[in-house]
Protein backbone atom coordinates (compact mmCIF):
# COMPACT_ATOMS: atom_id res chain seq x y z
CA UNK A 1 0.00 0.00 0.00
CA UNK A 2 1.10 3.60 -0.30
CA UNK A 3 0.04 7.18 0.22
CA UNK A 4 1.32 10.69 -0.48
CA UNK A 5 0.94 13.97 1.43
CA UNK A 6 1.56 17.41 -0.11
CA UNK A 7 2.40 19.60 2.89
CA UNK A 8 0.85 23.04 3.35
CA UNK A 9 1.72 25.94 5.62
CA UNK A 10 -0.02 29.29 6.27
CA UNK A 11 2.27 31.05 3.77
CA UNK A 12 1.59 28.48 1.04
CA UNK A 13 5.30 27.94 0.37
CA UNK A 14 6.13 24.63 2.05
CA UNK A 15 7.19 23.13 -1.32
CA UNK A 16 7.44 19.62 0.08
CA UNK A 17 5.75 16.23 -0.08
CA UNK A 18 6.13 12.84 1.57
CA UNK A 19 5.40 9.42 0.10
CA UNK A 20 5.06 6.20 2.10
CA UNK A 21 5.43 2.68 0.77
CA UNK A 22 4.12 0.12 3.25
CA UNK A 23 3.28 -3.51 3.90
CA UNK A 24 1.43 -5.33 6.66
CA UNK A 25 2.94 -8.63 7.84
CA UNK A 26 0.94 -8.80 11.08
CA UNK A 27 -2.63 -7.91 11.93
CA UNK A 28 -2.90 -4.29 13.13
CA UNK A 29 0.74 -3.39 12.23
CA UNK A 30 1.91 -1.51 9.12
CA UNK A 31 5.65 -1.22 8.37
CA UNK A 32 6.59 1.63 6.05
CA UNK A 33 9.47 3.48 4.46
CA UNK A 34 9.09 7.12 3.47
CA UNK A 35 10.71 9.80 1.34
CA UNK A 36 10.34 13.49 2.20
CA UNK A 37 11.14 15.69 -0.79
CA UNK A 38 11.52 19.43 -0.30
CA UNK A 39 13.05 22.39 -2.06
CA UNK A 40 16.75 23.09 -1.52
CA UNK A 41 19.31 24.98 -3.57
CA UNK A 42 21.65 22.01 -2.96
CA UNK A 43 20.31 18.97 -4.84
CA UNK A 44 21.75 16.43 -2.37
CA UNK A 45 19.60 17.95 0.42
CA UNK A 46 16.23 17.57 -1.35
CA UNK A 47 15.32 14.03 -0.18
CA UNK A 48 15.25 12.56 3.34
CA UNK A 49 14.29 8.93 3.97
CA UNK A 50 13.29 6.99 7.07
CA UNK A 51 10.79 4.40 8.28
CA UNK A 52 7.68 4.23 10.46
CA UNK A 53 5.68 1.54 12.21
CA UNK A 54 1.95 2.16 12.55
CA UNK A 55 0.04 0.10 15.11
CA UNK A 56 -3.65 -0.02 15.92
CA UNK A 57 -4.38 1.61 19.27
CA UNK A 58 -6.91 -0.12 21.47
CA UNK A 59 -8.88 2.15 23.81
Q: What is the pLDDT of residues 1-59, one digit of tens each?
A: 999 999 998 887 788 999 999 999 888 999 999 999 998 899 888 999 999 999 998 88
pLDDT value, residue 11: 82
Q: How many CB atoms lie within 10 A of CB 51?
A: 11
Note the pLDDT of residue 10: 87
Number of compact structural domains in the chain: 1
Domain span at residue 33?
2-55
Residue from 50, 46, 26 nearest 37 by CA:
46
pTM over 0.85: no
What is the distance between the alpha carbons of residues 47 and 18, in angstroms, rounded to a whole number?
A: 9
Amino acid sequence: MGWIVAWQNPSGNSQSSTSWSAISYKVDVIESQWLLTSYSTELWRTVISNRDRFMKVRC
